[in-house]
Amino acid sequence: MHDDDEPVGRVLGRRQALILLGAAGVTLSAAGSATASATTTAGTPEVCALDCVVKPEQMEGPYFVDERLNRSDIRSEPATGQLVPGTALAINFTVQQIRQQQCTPLPKAMVDIWQCDAYGLYSDIPSQGSSGRRFLRGYQNTDQAGSARFTTILPGWYTGRTLHIHIKIRTVGTNGRPYEFTSQLYFTPEFGAAYLRTDPYRRKGPADTTNSRDSIYRSGGSQMLLRPTQAGTGYTADFAIGLDLSNTQVGRPD
């Protein structure tokens, strides 16, 4: 088993989220919906469609490095500008705050993503011989609509873990103190198996761990699925997430 993430929190299920928000006030989309939307009618609360509503507790693992690398396209090695090999994936995040049964965009939140390359290696990890390199790491601040966009590659795999991409959202809780939500994004087994048969991924073969056998995925991973669609020679995926910033105990920095 590869030394990796140990879950210390949980993601709310659809039923729990409806209880939290009030079933009459908020409508949740199925995981993996193409977009997040919000509509308001006179005399009723705002209705939002979210891929995932979370109770903000953290899981990070040993491979997070706080590089503070502000960039949207994380595919390159900053020192050389060289792109890592792999199929391009654009991820469009929408981050919203849930408060008093309403959803509002969350601007100025710091969204970090990091992942392994097509061969299962992370940058800037001494044990992997990648010290000083910073490929496949970066952050963006959400805009006034709560949006943050990244260009990366479809991830490879390593022993004991299913295919995944890490995400950390940093903002300020309702008590004025730093707040973090850290989790992971996954892919359906069918999608993962298909792209692992293409170059450069097929050189390593099929992953040794599926979603159903991954201990981290089994703790809420089905609610953190990306559903990429073809876009030219690459893929694009949207993911909308709602944060309850009032739960500052579990939102403490990792």
Q: What pLDDT does residue 62 have? A: 75
> Quick check: 150 pLDDT over 60?
yes
Q: What pLDDT does residue 16 have? A: 46
Q: How many structural domains does the chain have?
A: 1
Q: What pLDDT does residue 112 have? A: 97
Percentage of residues in the chain having pLDDT higher than 90: 60
Mean pLDDT (the chain) is: 81
Is 7 exposed, middle or buried, given 0-12, 13-18 or 19+ CB atoms closer than 10 A? Answer: buried
Contact 186, 167 (CB under 8 A): no
pLDDT band for position 221 (50/70/90)?
A: confident
pLDDT band for position 215 (50/70/90)?
A: confident
Q: What pLDDT does residue 53 have? A: 65
Domain region containing 154 = 88-243
Whether the pTM exceeds 0.85: the reply is: no
Which residues make Cβ contacts (< 8 Å) with residue 90, sequence separation at least 6?
Answer: 149, 150, 151, 152, 231, 234, 235, 236, 237
Say if 92 falls within a structural domain: yes
The predicted-structure confidence for 76-110, as pLDDT tens digits, reads as follows 999 999 999 999 999 999 999 988 778 899 999 99
The predicted-structure confidence for 13-57, as pLDDT tens digits, reads as follows 444 444 444 433 333 332 333 334 444 444 444 445 666 566 434
User: Torsions phi, psi of 95, nearest 5?
Assistant: -110, 125
The predicted-structure confidence for 114-142, as pLDDT tens digits, reads as follows 999 999 999 999 999 999 999 999 999 99
Say if 180 falls within a structural domain: yes
> Quick check: 195 pLDDT over 90?
yes
Compute the distance between CA of residue 31 and CA of residue 163 in angstroms, rounded to an integer. Answer: 17
Q: What pLDDT does residue 4 have? A: 47
For residues 202-227, give the mean pLDDT.
91
Say if 42 falls within a structural domain: no
pLDDT band for position 1 (50/70/90)?
A: very low
Please, where are the H alpha helices in 22-169? none
Say if 110 falls within a structural domain: yes
Compute the distance between CA of residue 79 and CA of residue 214 in angstroms, rounded to an integer. Answer: 34
Is the omega angle on the peptide bond into residue 62 within 30 degrees of 0, that is, cis? no
Q: What CATH number should be reported for the domain holding residue 217?
A: 2.60.130.10
Say if 116 falls within a structural domain: yes
For residues 171-176, give the mean pLDDT.
92
Compute the distance between CA of residue 159 and CA of residue 225 in angstroms, rounded to an integer. Answer: 20
Q: What pLDDT does residue 220 have? A: 83
> Quick check: 7 pLDDT over 60?
no
Say if 198 falls within a structural domain: yes
**Among the listed residues 225, 247, 219, 245, the one whose alpha carbon sits nearest the alpha carbon of residue 237:** 225
- Residue entry with tokens 């000083």: 132
Say if 14 falls within a structural domain: no
Say if 82 falls within a structural domain: no
